[in-house]
Amino acid sequence: MPQIYPIFPNGFAANSYLVTEDGKQAVCIDPASPRILAEAQRRGLDVKFVLLTHGHFDHVGGCAAFSQTGAKIGCLAAEKALAEEHNLGAEFGMPVPPFRVDFTFSDGDELSLAGMTFQVIATAGHTVGSVCFLLPQAEGVCSHSPAPLGGKVPQAEGVCYHLPAPLGGKVPQAEGGCLYSLFTGDTLFRESVGRTDLPTGSVARLHESLARLCALPFDCKLFPGHGEISTLSYEKTHNGYLKW
């Protein structure tokens, strides 16, 4: 089962996450600063890939450092120019060491990286190319079909978690947690959402994206770009922005 190491910022920056299946190779989501590389090395993790939830300066400050180690950096195709050239670092007085995006992906893609599969959910609104990454948390594969989002449905031992349950039925969860992890960037926070007043932002598109996340037929543990870790079910009840 993948292990997720959150790294919370010193001062103003995004949350960063190191994700590993085997304790050796890892994926970094949103390296806020060069410090994240040091944190990976301290844990003995070789970060092979960097995934960006979007291109803002406070999420990409460590990209150049990771590039120098050979890690490949990916973002949604629609976000590439923003990440490389218009990340607002200069405007906010926090310039970002230059870097290039090595690969791009699209909504619905399944990214097989370092022995894990991340599903891309495009969630425009905070920026035009914002995404969330969905990561199955349990081992095993459900043989039922169709699977949600065209992907694999994780299955706890002896129990099928194929969803959706009819008529709003209770969503089963593995003991002690959710079956999926969702990295939400600046789309969805604990009891809040990302701002939409920066270039390429759109409140209407954010609304659509939040509705899309709320329609996921299972609960997820949320790993947001800022603030505390949460769950989708908690946000559905407590986050006023999901009640528009």
CB nearer to Zn ion: pick between 56 and 221: 56
Pairing assessment for the beta strands 180-185 and 188-189 based on DSSP bridges: unpaired
CB nearer to Zn ion: pick between 20 and 230: 230
Residues with Cβ within 8 Å of residue 201, at least 6 apart in sequence = 125, 126, 127, 195
Nearest to 133 by CA among 143, 123, 118: 118
DSSP code per residue over 201-243: --HHHHHHHHHHHHT-SS-EEEEESSS--EEHHHHHHH-GGGG
> CB under 5 A: which stretch of 36-44, 55-63, 92-100, 112-120 binds Zn ion?
55-63
* Helix %, strand %, coil % of the chain (to 5): 25, 25, 50
Closest approach, Cβ 1 to Zn ion, in A, equals 29
Number of chain positions touching Zn ion (CB under 5 A): 2
CA distances 64 to 39, 46, 76, 83, 214, Å, are 15, 15, 18, 12, 34
> CB under 5 A: which stretch of 52-60, 89-97, 174-182, 212-220 binds Zn ion?
52-60
Closest approach, Cβ 14 to Zn ion, in A, equals 7
> CB under 5 A: which stretch of 16-24, 67-75, 178-186, 205-213 binds Zn ion?
178-186
Other Cβ atoms less than 10 A from the Cβ of 78: the count is 20
Cα atoms in the Cβ-side hemisphere of radius 13 Å centred on 152: 16
CB nearer to Zn ion: pick between 56 and 205: 56
Tokens of 115: 């022995």
**186 touches 53 (CB < 8 A):** yes
Residue whose C-beta lies closest to Zn ion = 56
Closest approach, Cβ 189 to Zn ion, in A, equals 11
Tokens of 117: 């599969």
Closest approach, Cβ 136 to Zn ion, in A, equals 26
CB nearer to Zn ion: pick between 17 and 161: 17
Which of 79, 186, 219, 235 forms a contact with Zn ion (CB under 5 A)?
A: 186
End-to-end, the C-alpha distance of the chain in Å comes to: 36
> Is residue 56 at the binding interface for Zn ion, with CB under 5 A as the rule?
yes
CB nearer to Zn ion: pick between 77 and 174: 77
Closest approach, Cβ 227 to Zn ion, in A, equals 13
CB nearer to Zn ion: pick between 48 and 226: 226
> Is residue 86 at the binding interface for Zn ion, with CB under 5 A as the rule?
no
**Greatest distance between any 2 Cα atoms in the chain:** 54
Site string for Zn ion, 199-228 (x = CB under 5 A): ------------------------------
Closest approach, Cβ 56 to Zn ion, in A, equals 3
Q: Give me the residues that bind Zn ion (CB under 5 A), please.
A: 56, 186
